[in-house]
Structure 1
Amino acid sequence: MKRSVVLIAAAVLLAGCGNSGEAAGPQQSQAGSPAKVTFEWWHLSTTEPLKSIYAKRAKEYMAEHPNVTIKMTVLENDAYKSKLTTVTQSGKAPDVFATWGGGVLKQQIDAGLVKDVTGDVGDVIGGFTPAALSAYQFDGKTYALPTDIGMVGFWYNKKLFAKAGISEPPATWSAFLDDVRKLKSAGVTPIALAGKEKWPGHYYWAYLAMRIGGLPALQQAAADHDFTKPDFLAAAQQVKALADLQPFQNGFKGAAYSTPDGQAATMGDGKAAMELMGQWAPSVQKDAGKGLGDDLGFFPFPAVEGGKGAVTDAFGGGGGMALGAQAPGEALDFVKFLTEKTNHSEAVTAGAVLPVLKGEESAVKDPNLKVVADALASATGFQLFLDQAYPPAVGQEVNDAVAQVINGAKTPEQAVQSITEVAKSESE
């Protein structure tokens, strides 16, 4: 998650190349002392507090292991995805890298780029919640350890809702559209959107497809690669119905997510009433803008009248750390260090991530994140981000096609057709 379009060269880290020799444990020099090892760590936590927490973890690990140098690469979301795709297409993977799991990770596994850590994490795997692990396990094997889990929902400005005469968050999609109209009538921009980056827009279609068709529809589409069915089309038509209300901030088509003039800052500076975003939203709003403090609230994506999906079905994901196939043993040891309960709970308490370890729930202090954690705890179903759940080309087409519906460049019919064409092509 997620974001500032700049490569951050962490001052605590020394340059060097990733270790290319595979090792099950720490390496030894011929003299018997630990051999010098350098490994790469790629992640995308560019905002506080996790940015500083991760830098601190790297410093601590290197202080405890003087023979180890961690070379860190930190990128904003889109830049991270692009760079990781380029590197993996060349047949390589960083020693340690952030992953959302799902179809993208599975494709990397099938290409032989990711280490199967099943036999090496038996001492810690029991401490993780099954929900947090699920996106990184395939055929009974584990390929990453989770660092975060969460869900997408609407973050809203209580003061701007009150200005528009809205006394409570909408429970249905019809009420949501009515509230958009009320906000516009009150002179308030209803929704902040990073149209340039596309992935935030796909959340709307994904959630509407879940609420209208239910989770089984998305699971079936993963198998038969057909997104032209009535429920998917209806979801795209509702995206268009929302876009036709012109609810987004001026210039949204060129807006990024975490830049000073992007989606998070628009929300954090009180210039829009809502954003549909994951559990990381409050920290990015504060990092990119001023933050809303007590005026910030959260509500789940509304139910769609007559839909097959439950409002308690959640959409989102978390994050994990996977290892490249040739990563040294020290790299895995570092991932265990990163997810050790004392270290991970510090990030939970700081509001940077949500619990992935059993018994961490009490570490959640932020009231809005507590709402998210409670919603996850009572969720009746869970769907991973579509641009991660499906193969990369399909996920990219979902993002592109939904963005084109929002921008008026494609009809709903054209959007579901193009997604289907890519999905079927990828399955051949």
Structure 2
Amino acid sequence: MKNRFRGAAVIAAVAALTLAGCSDPGAGGGDSAPAEWPAQDADLSGTTLTIWAAQNSNTVPESVVEGFEELTGAQVDVVTIPDPYEQSVQTKVATGDTPDLAFWQPTASMLTALNASTNLQPLDDAPWLDSYKPELRDITGILDDTRYAALITTPAVEGVYYNKEVFAANGITDVPANWDEFVQTGRDLKAKGVTPFFDFGGGTPWATQWWVQVQLADAAKDGLWDRVNANEETFTDPTIQGAIDTYDSLIQEGLFNENLKTATFEDQGPALLSGDAAMAVQVNSFFGQLQSLADTAELDEKIGFFPISPSGNVGTFIPDQSNALVAFKTGDAKREAGARQLLSYWLGDGYADFVEAQSTVSLQTDVDSSAEVPQALLAVSDSLADSVGSMQALAIANPDLYLNLGDLIQGTMTTAEVGEATQKQFAELAKAIGAAGF
């Protein structure tokens, strides 16, 4: 029931936003002249701007807000929207309640979910675009050839975090160079009494889907998600269904932690850091947990990262809502310009301070990454240049694959049922947004 309810809520939100866009064509939608970008220090005394943020991103703007308010005289209020963040935002926007800026997952499916062409300001002529590293400039944030999201931190990458000391103690001198070597490394470790992989199925098993998606990297480069979007290929066809089947086969082989069904995200970091498990397929947010458990020096000593794909070391990128901001069409020209100005400052004069305050990797060629960034996160960033988009980045809709895989782990779904349920929901979401072929 849990996954069905969530899917129904998403479909309802998408439909409401679509209808809202159709019923009010004068609310900022349609073609318009390119927006002007105010100077970063233009006076905004008496102007209040609102930023919506999730519980895990509401402190991210602190250094930027402080500097911008001092420079311009504006007031910037950061408002925390309750979880589930994306659904809460969609519900508010569908009723006409919008902020000036919001943290948002800058993928095609999630920009579509906000009815971007009607509700969001285009950012195509932003003055900071050429400051991005070339491989990051156009990696995400674009829908129907229009840029609607400003990337502020490097997108997350699905790949393998591993314990260097466990590898060394068991004679593993090189990281696996493809999926088959990765699985064989797991089998070799198991033969020596080491738990190869750690995952979690208890609670909300959101990381389960990474195991399927990294297996799809080569197919994604070959247009998999374009075919899925056109209803020419489905989750029950051999490519995606085969990845689901393979994930289950690794579980049945005993390559995961014994408490797979009950383990939680909070258990994963300590297991990898202590060496109780050798590897975890995860994204950048996992490293935040590791940073809460150890300092940079210990992490550099113990934790490494490598991307993985069937044929090589190709990463799968998956931007999340903490990576980017969108600016809304509020109908107030001064506030809309102020929102653009804040973005210009964030990715302009305020960016170096932001990178240091967040101890993060820089997106820009002329701004150095923080010295506090561990080597594993630098490896994640380096992998982006050759990475391919995830389901969330490239598909027109984002079904509850992870919840269905959680049901698989708990024994309440078969692999075939996972594929069928995911495809059914994907088709419903695609139909709700008016996608051709559905």
TM-score (norm: length of structure 2): 0.74
Deviation at 1:297, TM superposition (A): 0.9
**Count, aligned residues:** 381
Deviation at 1:296, TM superposition (A): 0.9
Deviation at 1:420, TM superposition (A): 1.8
Tell me if the contact between 1:191 and 1:274 (Cα under 8 Å) persists in the aligned partners. Answer: yes
Cα deviation, 1:30-57, whole Å, max 9, x if unaligned, reads: xx983241413314545xxxx7663222
Q: Aligned partners of 2:245 and 2:430: how far apart in 1?
A: 26
1:367 to 375, 399, 406: 375
Tell me if the contact between 2:150 and 2:324 (Cα under 8 Å) persists in the aligned partners. Answer: yes
In the alignment, structure 1 residue 410 sits paired with structure 2 residue 413: yes
Residues 142-153 of structure 1 mapped to structure 2, 5 A cutoff: 142-150=147-155, 151-153=157-159
**Distance verdict in 2 for CA 1:131–1:40, change over 3 Å:** closer
Tell me if the contact between 2:116 and 2:148 (Cα under 8 Å) persists in the aligned partners. Answer: no
Q: Aligned partners of 1:334 and 1:66: how far apart in 2?
A: 12
Gaps of 5+ in 1: 1-20, 27-31, 305-309
Tell me if the contact between 1:265 and 1:289 (Cα under 8 Å) persists in the aligned partners. Answer: no
Alignment correspondent of 1:3: none
2:112 to 106, 110, 134: 106
In the alignment, structure 1 residue 41 sits paired with structure 2 residue 45: no
1:386 to 374, 377, 391: 391
Deviation at 1:294, TM superposition (A): 1.0
Partner of 1:112, secondary structure, is: helix
1:316 to 315, 318, 341: 318
**Distance verdict in 2 for CA 1:423–1:67, change over 3 Å:** closer
Alignment correspondent of 1:12: none
2:398 to 386, 395, 399: 395
In the alignment, structure 1 residue 421 sits paired with structure 2 residue 419: no
In the alignment, structure 1 residue 278 sits paired with structure 2 residue 289: no
Tell me if the contact between 2:104 and 2:324 (Cα under 8 Å) persists in the aligned partners. Answer: yes
Alignment correspondent of 1:133: 138
Tell me if the contact between 2:194 and 2:277 (Cα under 8 Å) persists in the aligned partners. Answer: yes
> Aligned partner of 1:275: which letter?
A
Deviation at 1:108, TM superposition (A): 0.8
In the alignment, structure 1 residue 83 sits paired with structure 2 residue 91: no
Residues 301-312 of structure 1 mapped to structure 2, 5 A cutoff: 301-303=308-310, 311-312=313-314
Tell me if the contact between 1:39 and 1:69 (Cα under 8 Å) persists in the aligned partners. Answer: yes
Alignment correspondent of 1:117: 123
Alignment correspondent of 1:307: none
Tell me if the contact between 1:386 and 1:395 (Cα under 8 Å) persists in the aligned partners. Answer: yes
Deviation at 1:241, TM superposition (A): 1.2
**Distance verdict in 2 for CA 1:139–1:388, change over 3 Å:** closer
> Aligned partner of 1:104: which letter?
M
Gaps of 5+ in 2: 1-26, 29-34, 432-438
Tell me if the contact between 2:152 and 2:347 (Cα under 8 Å) persists in the aligned partners. Answer: yes
> Aligned partner of 1:427: which letter?
A
> Which region of structure 1 is more displaced relative to structure 2, 411-420 or 362-371?
362-371
Tell me if the contact between 1:133 and 1:145 (Cα under 8 Å) persists in the aligned partners. Answer: no
2:100 to 92, 95, 100: 95
Deviation at 1:238, TM superposition (A): 0.7
Residues 4-403 of structure 1 mapped to structure 2, 5 A cutoff: 34-43=45-54, 45=56, 54-73=61-80, 79-102=84-107, 103-110=109-116, 112-118=118-124, 121=126, 123-128=127-132, 129=134, 131-150=136-155, 151-195=157-201, 196-211=203-218, 215-224=222-231, 226-249=234-257, 251-257=259-265, 261-287=266-292, 292-303=299-310, 311-312=313-314, 314-317=316-319, 319-326=323-330, 328=335, 329-340=337-348, 343-348=350-355, 352-360=359-367, 366-377=374-385, 379=386, 382-383=388-389, 385-391=390-396, 394-403=397-406
Tell me if the contact between 2:300 and 2:376 (Cα under 8 Å) persists in the aligned partners. Answer: no
Partner of 1:199, secondary structure, is: coil
Partner of 2:118, secondary structure, is: coil
Partner of 2:277, secondary structure, is: coil
Tell me if the contact between 2:103 and 2:326 (Cα under 8 Å) persists in the aligned partners. Answer: yes
TM-score (norm: length of structure 1): 0.76
Partner of 1:170, secondary structure, is: coil
> Which region of structure 1 is more displaced relative to structure 2, 234-243 or 322-331?
322-331
Cα deviation, 1:84-126, whole Å, max 9, x if unaligned, reads: 344344443433222222211122135733222335x2x2233
Deviation at 1:361, TM superposition (A): 6.4
Q: Aligned partners of 2:77 and 2:184: how far apart in 1?
A: 52
Alignment correspondent of 1:7: none
**Distance verdict in 2 for CA 1:238–1:118, change over 3 Å:** same
Tell me if the contact between 1:148 and 1:320 (Cα under 8 Å) persists in the aligned partners. Answer: yes
Partner of 1:276, secondary structure, is: strand
Tell me if the contact between 1:228 and 1:417 (Cα under 8 Å) persists in the aligned partners. Answer: yes
> Aligned partner of 2:130: which letter?
G
Q: Aligned partners of 2:245 and 2:350: how far apart in 1?
A: 45
Moved over 6 A (4+): 21-26, 361-364
Cα deviation, 1:295-339, whole Å, max 9, x if unaligned, reads: 1111121435xxxxx543643336211122217232332222222
> Aligned partner of 2:341: which letter?
D
Cα deviation, 1:74-93, whole Å, max 9, x if unaligned, reads: 77xx6433433443444434
> Aligned partner of 2:277: which letter?
A
Tell me if the contact between 1:298 and 1:371 (Cα under 8 Å) persists in the aligned partners. Answer: yes
Deviation at 1:59, TM superposition (A): 2.0
**Distance verdict in 2 for CA 1:136–1:354, change over 3 Å:** same
